[in-house]
Structures are given as structure tokens and as C-alpha cells.
Amino acid sequence: MKLHCATTNPGKLREFQRAAGAGWEVEPLPGLRDIPPPAETGATFEENAILKARYYGAHTSGWLFTDDSGLEVAALGGAPGVHSAHFAGPAATDAENNARLVAELQGKADRRARYVCVIALARAGELVKTFRGEVEGEIVNPPRGAGGFGYDPHFFYPPFGGTFGEIPLERKQE
């Protein structure tokens, strides 16, 4: 079954394709790059995921999902949160976002953090269901590993004894 995904992030798309498993074909929404993105005005991951699912879902009669995800750091009051992708500015790179994260944590002992991902599933622009997942870890510096994307090289996951930048994708999705 075909499922469209409204993301231009190649790292996310690759992880979603891997996670979908047998029987599902995850593809970018056709023409996605030509559709102006909606303003992500939600205060929560859920609000933004739903907003995007309704918006992009109107561009297909089939199944579509969107996500809103990011990193919440305890010592930063939950930041970067819904601003994770643009923590260092509107056109920030992963390296710039990571540099700001490390700078803001300087001198702080509490390194607890969690990744949050909310997926909103829609059909023809109508919300069907949302799903939320979280994983607890801590921020490390210097970064470790060249895998993953975003904050992965700084996010240490104790059950695996490594950062998400060190852990192979297959193991990360266990």
C-alpha cells in the first residue's frame, strides 16, 4: 500500500521508509517541493503535525502522513522543542543547531533530553489519527558518530550505550 509522506528531510524520509516495513511503500508527496509550506504555528508537536497533515493532505486523495519532531532538553526548559529544526535560525544547518545546543548547555550539569515525534495520518485532508513516540537520553559533547541527522551525534541513548549518530539505523528502530 502506498503512503505519502510530506517531508523534505531526506534523513527523516529514509527512517520512515525503513520503519514502514513490508506491505508499505512510503514515498514523498508528489510535487511537494512546489507546494509552499504552511506556517508551523502550533505550540506543540501534535498541533504542528495535525496542521501539516490537513494542509498537505488536501493535495492527495490517498493516505498521507506528516510529522513534527524534535529534541526537548530539560536544562533548557524543553527547548529547542518545536523549534528544533530552526533552533539557530530560519535557515540553520544541523551543524549550526548543534553548535547552539552545545553553547546553551555550557555550564549546565543536567544533560537529560528526549526526542519526541508525533505523526499525523490523514486521508484527503481529513485527520485520521495521531501517534506519539518519545525516547529518553542525554546530550553529550563532543559529538559521536557520523550517522543519523540533526542532533543524533549529541543524543546519547543509554540502553544502546551510544549516540544515535553511532547506532545503525536498524538498531535505532528496534
DSSP code for 147: -
Distance of CA 155 to the CA centre of its chain: 13
Which amino acid, 23? Answer: G
SS3 136: strand
Q: Which of 34, 67, 68, 94 is the catalytic position?
A: 68
Is 67 among the residues known to form the active site? Answer: no
Which is nearest to 42 in space by CA: 69, 10, 12? 69
Which is nearest to 140 in space by CA: 117, 159, 164, 160? 164
Which is nearest to 64 in space by CA: 9, 134, 136, 119? 119
| Catalytic positions, written as ranges | 68
